[in-house]
A and B are shown apart, each in its own frame.
Chain A
């Protein structure tokens, strides 16, 4: 997609040469780490559920799980969907260290969505994600979290021609054979051809065949490119939060 400058000046007087120079000078998203612009500086606790008619945003009373979510640009509705799945959530900054996360003894770890190039943010996030995977704790990632989980597992990411940005994209879940209609928003993707042998592709876009989900074989570690939490929908992919809960339940029972 092209880079550009958008300008609003009530007088209608513009220095278009300057605007063009600024557009040309901007380096573009490839290689850009934008997570520091959006991540939090302090931790936050969360237990509010999705909005329901007659209840509004009810608070989760008896949490079954404790999840640590790493905020790379976290959307609020993801937190609500996690609460609906029985999780109380501790949200930590993008720079959180694996040792600090694991010291909180979470039942699961969530890697959030976020902006920019996963390889750029991955320079500091991926080593921590590798340590989190090695701990055996269930891990679930969405969007940027999905891409960086892929990097941590040994795959590569690339910038897409136009990316996917919409709310009616068909995605197939290979594990069930079902097709779900999903909300999408990404300009980078995991290159399927670089997936190592111990990682399976679980979801694929039916628009262009690009990767939409991965799982570390035999482990409770998985992620999706699309947005199961999307508000105002579609809600076809809410089962992914249940899948995360099932992984946490199974791991706790061991």
Chain B
């Protein structure tokens, strides 16, 4: 009888469900994290626009809110310095979090400077915190 051995690792890897959206009514939505790590509290709102995600994410009016984009493909033209709507570089806190549907693709636009995921991670470009995408 052969000795028990540790099973060989699977030839594929399962993505860790690294994000949660917990609503005040007890609803828990599981997803895959992107952008910055940590936790943030806010009002979960939505935006139905199909374009202009960088302008939406940098609009100071979203302070205290977590934006759910109803359009599934967000981030596909990347980000740049010109489209930031924040006019006050010393702003303390804008949008608290982002909920997306689809994986962010590689940016495809001549104006793209940075991938949306990398941009969300950098506190300099956005006073934002956690982000997720649910599936």
Residues of chain A having any CB pair with chain B under 8 Å: 1-12, 14, 16, 19-20, 22-24, 26, 28-29, 32, 34, 36-41, 44, 51, 57, 71, 73-77, 79, 91, 113-116, 143-144, 162-163, 165-168, 183, 185-187, 230-233
Report yes or no: A231 in contact with B55, Cβ–Cβ below 8 A: yes
**When each residue 24-62 of chain B gets 1 if its CB lies under 8 Å from chain A and 0 otherwise, what string results?**
111110000111111111111111111110011001111
Residue B84 CB within 8 A of the other chain: yes
Beyond A2-B43, A16-B20, A26-B41, whether A116 also contacts B48 by CB under 8 A is no
Report yes or no: B60 in contact with A75, Cβ–Cβ below 8 A: yes
Report yes or no: B60 in contact with A2, Cβ–Cβ below 8 A: no
CB contacts (< 8 Å) of A8 on chain B: these are 18-19, 33-39, 130-132
C-alpha gap A79/B131 in the complex (Å): 29
CB distance from B134 to the nearest CB of A (A): 10
Report yes or no: A11 in contact with B18, Cβ–Cβ below 8 A: yes
Report yes or no: A9 in contact with B88, Cβ–Cβ below 8 A: no
Report yes or no: A165 in contact with B48, Cβ–Cβ below 8 A: yes
For the complex of A and B, the 7 pairs showing the least CB-CB separation, nearest first, are: A73-B60, A8-B33, A6-B97, A115-B63, A167-B49, A166-B48, A38-B60
C-alpha gap A167/B50 in the complex (Å): 8
The interface centre, meaning the residue of B45, B55, B61 with most chain A CB atoms within 10 A of its CB, is B61
Residues of chain B having any CB pair with chain A under 8 Å: 16-28, 33-52, 55-56, 59-67, 82-88, 90-94, 96-99, 129-132
CB contacts (< 8 Å) of A183 on chain B: these are 49, 52
CB contacts (< 8 Å) of A7 on chain B: these are 19-22, 38-40, 130, 132
C-alpha gap A11/B22 in the complex (Å): 17
